[in-house]
Structures are given as C-alpha cells and as structure tokens.
Structure 1
Amino acid sequence: MGGGRCFAWVSLALLATACGDDRGAGASGDWQAQMRQIRMAVRGSEDDPQLARRWDAYKRRLEAATGLPVKLYESSDYNGAIQALSSGQVDMANIAGGGYANVDAQIGDKVAPILTVRDAEGAVGYYSAVLVKADSPYRTMRDLKGKALGYVDFNSTSGYLFPRAKLREQGFDPDTYFGKSTFAGGHTQAVMALENGQFDATIINVGGGTPEHGFTTGAHYTMARRGVVNVDDFRIIWTAGPIPNSAIVTRTDRPQAFIDTVRGAMAALPYDDPEMWTQIGQADGSTYTAVDRSHYADIIALRDGDLAQRRGRRP
C-alpha cells in the first residue's frame, strides 16, 4: 500500500513536469538550467542536532530528485527565513503557520504552502502550552496574574501568536494580565530562561499527544532527552490547539515543474526511507499531506487580529 502511494506521488510529479504549465520556465522548458540551484530557508538550531539532521536529509532528498545542488539558508531567528522567502532570496522554505501568515501579508500568492506533516491518526497539528516549574505554586492561568511571562518570538505561532489569541478568547488580555512579558528568542531559550528563574511561566510548543493523554514531544522533552533538563522539573498548566503543523512552502513564481518535483519527492520520503524519516524526528506512521492557503486561513486571521489589537492600543 505504502509503495503504491509513493509511486502515485512520483508519477504525478513527473506527469506534471512533462505536461503541466511551464510557469516561469525558459523557452526551452529546461527549468533546471534556468534555476541552476535550489535555495531553501530553514530555521537553524545549534542546540537541537535533530533539526540539523532533518535539513541535511531534505537537502540530499531534493538534490537526488532535481539533479540540482541545494543550498540551505539557516536563520537564527524566525524573521530571517520570512524575509528571505518574501524577498525572493530563496525558492522554498520549511516554515510555521505564523511565519507563512507573515509572508502572505507581505507578498500574497507569490508564495504557497504545498505540504504539511500528518500523524498516523490523521491529525495535522500540535499545541501551545504554558510551562511552569514543577515546584512553583502556579496551577492555573489565574495564578499568573501580574507574573512574568516568556514568549518565544514575535513570529512564533505556538510561542506567541496562537496562545495570545486563545487567551483573549478566555478573558485574559495578554497585554495587561501579566506583570511583564519578554521574548526569549527560541523554544529552547524559553525553557532555559524558565529554568533559571527569569520567568514565572513561559509558552512553548508540545505535540505527540493531546491535553487529555499527555504529550511526548516539545522543547523541554527534546532538552530532557539530551540531558540538559529534567522533564519532571516542569508542569504544563494550560494548552491551546491544535495548531496547523509547519509547511513546506514554495515561491509560486518559480517553474511549475520545480514545484511539482519538490512536492512529489518530499511526499514520497516517508515511504521510500521510513528509517530516516524517524531518525530526523518525524513520528512513526506520519506522512506528508497536500495543503494550500486555506489550511492556514485561521492562522492568517489570528495574525491580522493580533496586529489590529496591538495597533489599537498605541497612543
């Protein structure tokens, strides 16, 4: 069954390459000669070796499928990948929903999501969570009134955009409810800042489960597996989700044959090499599924709403 679906993906990609429109291609239709290389923006993370393995696997996969060298543009923050994609410095990216919403606001349909990860049960999302120290007195959001909260990054979906919207829906104004709020710069940094007492609570991403049954993935779980922290030193007191998973997005002004080849090659990866798929941190049984802008419509609306809310507060 898996091999058949793999063949179908690859066949569709090849068919689209041969028969589809050659948007952006030269007169000869030789899109490889036109592009010469593939430039992909990814979020760098020196403190998560698994991410480095993932980007290397994607690089090798795309090089084999396209016959072109792939250059990875690693950004230390969210905005770097967003601006590289918006300005056309890269051809594609792996980016979270909030980042895609930012790009969409800047350049609209010049960029489109094509794939996202779906787990074995068919879910295509993860969660935002408020994390506190296990030995703290904080048990609910009401205990955090006037306390210090750590966000991940202004462009983080689970670490800023999504939880702020959900807090407002529940009657907690994130701009006035907490005593102060600060950006940590990343999920790992947010956990370390909490560990070191810089925040009373912080917001991070979690997955591999549900609020009812618990989670198995997320920043503090990754750090615990590496021996950096003890997962039992923390407690989750609030969750929101699910949030649409990150997407592989491409510039739509690139040759259609390139977009179709990327879609087919990446969609077939979990079937062609399931061992590598799990080695790069993807859950057993998960696969890629096709998406478009409509999949992130709620995130786009949340971003617009958050911007409007904050602008309305300005003097």
Structure 2
Amino acid sequence: MINRRMILAAAAGLAFSASAASAQDWKAKYPELVFAKVPDENASGTTNRWTPLAEYLSRELGTKVTLRIANDYAAVIEGQRAGNIHIAMYGPASYARAYIIGAKVEPFAIEVNGDGTKGYYSVLYVKSDSSYKDIKDLKGKNLCLVDPNSTSGNNVPRFAMDKMGIDPEKFFSKVVYSGSHENAVIGLAQGTCDAAFNWWNDEKESNLLRMERKGMAKAADFKIILKSEQIVNSPMAYLGSLPADLKAAIKKAVLEVAVKDKAAFDKIYEGKQLPFVEVDHKAYEPVVDLIKFVDSIRKHKS
C-alpha cells in the first residue's frame, strides 16, 4: 500500500535527482570558472593573497576556479562585461563602473572590518617630515593617484577636491596614476610625488600597514593630512547570466569560507577582517551616483 511516507520519500528523491542533474548541467557548461581581483597591490601579492580562495572554491564547487591577475582595474571590468570573468572582487567604484557600462554583474558578498563596520576611507598621505599640513599646502606639487577606476585612489579624491574648489590638473604640477595603492606609496617614498591617496580602514588596518608587514614601507614615515567620508566596503560580484544554482553555490561557498577554510580566508585579510556577509546592488547606488558625478566633472572640463 502506498502511504504518505512513501510519497514524501519519492518526492525528495525526485528533487535530489533534479538538483544533481542541474548541477551536472552547469558543470558541463562551466568546466572552468575565472576569478579576478582588481590590482590594488602588486601581482605577486595578489597571487599569494587570493590563490587559496580560488583553490577553496574549486573544491567546494567541484569545478576548476582559476585566478586571473589583471593588469589594471579596467581589465576586470571589461572581462566581466565580455563574460570572460565569472567572479570578480571589485572596489566599490570599479563595480559601479561595470554596472554603468552595462556589465551584467550582481554583487553578492561584502567585506566586513574587524570591528563589524562595512566601510573604509580615502586618505591623503605625505611624508611625516614634510611641512604639509593641509591639501592647500600642496599647490604646484606632484600628486599620486592610483587608477581611474579606484574608489579611494581616484574617484572619492576627485569628488572631495571638487567640493573644495580644487581642479587637480590645474592645482598640482603633475598628477600621476601609479597603477596600484602600493605603487602610490612607493612613489611618495621615492619622491615621484609629494602626496598620495590611498585606502585606510582604521588605525589597525590600511594598505600602508599591509606594506609595513611585508617590509615594503614604514608607516611612521608617512602622515595623513586629509580623510574622506566613509565609503562602503568592496563587493564580490558574479555574472548575472550564470545559472541560479551555480550562483547560489558560489555565494554559499564565499559566505562560509571563513569557517570552512579559515586559513584561506586569513591569507586574504591576515586576521584583520570578519567573514564576508551578503550584499546586493542597493548598497552601491550612492557609489554609482558618485561615479556619474565624477564623469560629469570630466565632461565639463573637456
């Protein structure tokens, strides 16, 4: 006699079979997934920091995940727009740029600071032994920015300077794009520029402190003379065109990495961050507006 228990068991079996078949479908279509990170540090640093996560995702998803080292922020944006990069770790502004140019991407996870906050700052560094106390003291000097698509290294600084009535290309003798946050600090240390914008979470974590831990700089050699308003933390985003069950699997793996593979997670953030949490596009709408405003400044000047 067929009873309710038998029907439920059969239904569960059918659901499991459908789910397994669906997973096999996307694994056949995506034998390899590409993960890319915007280059806020040098290539070797990015490789060392993010390779363990790619290896963890390969194990969790059951398909190869390859880490791609991009030359600049635009390469990640264009790679996702073309569909060649399936998962990307952005800065807020580079995600906003991808969204504005029509890349079909969906943010799903956000970085969380050690104190539980989800924001960071753009700061302007000068050498500690310099006489500069305010950005106005830098008139006619050289400025290091990071990349046109960097949030804290270009877009937020340009927005802030516009509010202060400063046109960087006219106010400074030279404006240099260094290519990465590390290079901006190195440029300041070597005298290529007299001031450099960079990212800063708090007194316990910043790009400068990371560089100090790697023996690349001494934090005491620099001082901050300008700090922005808080910026929403960086998102991870996947292609919206990926199958729903694959996106769900990616999201689950990323949100659980701090527990399932603590070593891989700590390799990224050196124990300075809390686990990723879920996020969506709404959190980045203010950044989209900021990028559009910075674009309007550029168009007005041209």
TM, length-normalised to structure 1: 0.83
In structure 1, what residue type is equivalent to 2:232?
A: P
Gaps of 5+ in 1: 1-17, 210-214
- 8 Å CA contact 2:91–2:235 kept in 1: the answer is yes
Residue 225 of structure 2 corresponds to 237
What secondary structure, in the 3-state scheme, does the structure 1 residue paired with 2:75 have?
A: helix
Residue 13 of structure 1 corresponds to none
Change in 2 beyond 3 A, CA 1:271/1:147: same
Residue 161 of structure 2 corresponds to 167
Residue 9 of structure 2 corresponds to none
Work out the CA distance in 2 between the residues paired with 1:222 and 1:120: 15
Displacement, 1:309?
0.9
In structure 1, what residue type is equivalent to 2:141?
A: K
Work out the CA distance in 2 between the residues paired with 1:200 and 1:45: 20
In structure 1, what residue type is equivalent to 2:268?
A: I
**Identity, % of aligned pairs?**
28
133-142 or 173-182, which moves further after superposition?
Answer: 173-182
For each residue in 1:197-250, what CA deviation from the matched residue of structure 2 results, as whole angstroms up to 9, or x when unmatched? 11111111111x2xxxxx232232222222222211111111113212211101
- 8 Å CA contact 2:144–2:196 kept in 1: the answer is yes
Displacement, 1:90?
1.4
Residue 190 of structure 2 corresponds to 196
Work out the CA distance in 1 between the residues paired with 2:184 and 2:156: 16
- 8 Å CA contact 2:37–2:46 kept in 1: the answer is no
Change in 2 beyond 3 A, CA 1:75/1:172: same
Aligned to 1:67, which of 40, 62, 73? 62
In structure 1, what residue type is equivalent to 2:246?
A: F
In structure 2, what residue type is equivalent to 1:163?
A: P
What secondary structure, in the 3-state scheme, does the structure 2 residue paired with 1:38 have?
A: strand
What secondary structure, in the 3-state scheme, does the structure 2 residue paired with 1:155 have?
A: coil
What secondary structure, in the 3-state scheme, does the structure 1 residue paired with 2:276 have?
A: strand
Residue 119 of structure 2 corresponds to 125
In structure 1, what residue type is equivalent to 2:128?
A: A
What secondary structure, in the 3-state scheme, does the structure 1 residue paired with 2:131 have?
A: coil
Change in 2 beyond 3 A, CA 1:259/1:188: same
What secondary structure, in the 3-state scheme, does the structure 1 residue paired with 2:269 have?
A: coil
What secondary structure, in the 3-state scheme, does the structure 1 residue paired with 2:84 have?
A: coil
Residue 50 of structure 2 corresponds to 55
Work out the CA distance in 1 between the residues paired with 2:154 and 2:268: 26
For each residue in 1:152-209, what CA deviation from the matched residue of structure 2 results, as whole angstroms up to 9, or x when unmatched? 11111110001211222244343433232111111111111111111111111111x2
Work out the CA distance in 2 between the residues paired with 1:28 and 1:220: 43
Change in 2 beyond 3 A, CA 1:276/1:36: closer
Residue 249 of structure 1 corresponds to 237
Question: Please, what is the CA RMSD of the aligned residues?
Answer: 2.4
In structure 2, what residue type is equivalent to 1:114?
A: F
Displacement, 1:43?
3.4
- 8 Å CA contact 1:119–1:283 kept in 2: the answer is no
Report the count of equivalent residues: 286
**1:167-186 residue pairs with structure 2 within 5 A?**
167-186=161-180
Change in 2 beyond 3 A, CA 1:205/1:28: closer
For each residue in 1:25-81, what CA deviation from the matched residue of structure 2 results, as whole angstroms up to 9, or x when unmatched? x98972111212111122357747553233212111211111101122211211111
In structure 1, what residue type is equivalent to 2:214?
A: R
Change in 2 beyond 3 A, CA 1:28/1:283: closer
Work out the CA distance in 1 between the residues paired with 2:122 and 2:41: 22
Work out the CA distance in 1 between the residues paired with 2:254 and 2:22: 27
Structure 1 residue runs of 4 or more that deviate by more than 6 Å after TM superposition: 26-29
In structure 1, what residue type is equivalent to 2:33?
A: I
- 8 Å CA contact 2:142–2:193 kept in 1: the answer is yes
TM, length-normalised to structure 2: 0.87
Work out the CA distance in 2 between the residues paired with 1:46 and 1:183: 14
Gaps of 5+ in 2: 1-14
